[in-house]
Structure formats: C-alpha cells, structure tokens
Amino acid sequence: MEGYQTVNGPATFTGSLDLPAGSVQNDALANPVQIDTASNGVDGEAITTTSTVRASVALTVPAGMTQAIVLATATGMGENSTTASDYLYVSAVVEGINGGELYIAAPAGVGASLAAPFNTTLTGLTDGQEITVGVATRTGTAAWDASTANQASIAVTVMYLR
C-alpha cells in the first residue's frame, strides 16, 4: 500500500507501526506532556527565626495545559553565628504552600546544610498562569548573622498535562 489510507472505525495492527519522527503533533495526543525546569539561589543573607522565602522561580503554564506535576528540591546552608546550638529549617514552597520543613542541628559557630524535597500536583491551571516555587529557611531560636556561608537554592522540574 502506498499513499493515504482512510480507515473508518477501529483498526488492528499485528506488526509494528513505524511513524516518522515529528509526524504526530501534540494536538493529536490525548495526554501530551510538556516539561520545564528552573533554578535560582542566593547567598549572604542573615537567617532569622521567621520562615522566609529566600529564592524563587516563576514558571509559565503553556497553552492548553491544565495540570502540573511539580518536583521541587530546596537546599539551604547556614553558619550558626551564635554562642548556642540551634537548628536550621529548610522547606520548598509551591504556590504559597509549604511542603514541610526539614531541620538539622547546628552547633554554635558551625555550619549546617540540608535539602527538602516537595512533590505536588496542581490542577485547574490556565494558559499563561505563573507557578511560583521557592525555598524558605529559618532558624530555631536566634537569628544568624549574614554570611557568605548562608545559602539557599531551589531547583524545580514541572511536567505539564492537559
């Protein structure tokens, strides 16, 4: 057979079906996926006892997509500049929702670091809507002085679905 073939109704292929690359467009797929990634980071800020978003990214929902699977990893580092042991808390924040704080002990005068993942699914999205993802940090009992050792970063992968 050569040329176009019209099939009205179901068709069964008992062998493989080879299609040229790029011959099926996203519009023809029932559930296409589009992927986006972003990252951002800061350093040198003081860390207080109030959970504060230190760095964030904004990703734009592509046309025709209404859902997003968000895979975020927040990392934080800090140097405890006080004279007492304390804790460093880190969390990923997706659209204002805190993914849960993780913490690590930091003895006086010593640095600490950890990563906090947060995976979530967003629904009801619209074309061009921005999804904001960030990293929040805080200390447990006292503020830590600004230092180049104080760092926060966010890395995110988003899989958009119809």
**Tens digits of per-residue pLDDT, 46-99?**
999 999 999 999 999 999 999 999 999 999 999 999 999 999 999 999 999 999
**Helix and strand element counts for the chain (H, E):** 0, 9
In a domain, 79, yes or no: yes
The phi, psi pair for 123, rounded to 5°, reads -125, 170
User: Is 23 a domain residue?
Assistant: no
Structural domain range at position 143: 33-161
Average the pLDDT over 118-136 and give the result: 98
Q: Alpha carbon 31 to chain centroid distance?
A: 21
Residue 75 falls inside a structural domain = yes
Determine, yes or no, domain membership for 87.
yes
Residue 53 inside a domain? The answer is: yes
Give residue-wise pLDDT tens across range 108-118.
Answer: 999 999 999 99
Residue 15 lies in a domain: no
Determine the longest span between alpha carbons in the chain, in angstroms.
82
Burial (0-12, 13-18, 19+ Cβ within 10 Å), 133: buried
d(C-alpha 113, C-alpha 152), whole Å: 9
pTM, entire model = 0.85
Average pLDDT over residues 130-153: 98
Q: Give me the number of domains the chain comprises.
A: 1
**For residue 27, which phi and psi values (nearest 5 degrees)?**
-60, -25
In a domain? residue 22: no
Residues in CB range of 97: below 8 A, 6 or more apart = 120
CATH number at residue 141: 2.60.120
Rounded Cα distance, 42 and 71, in Å: 20
- Residue 101 belongs to a domain: yes
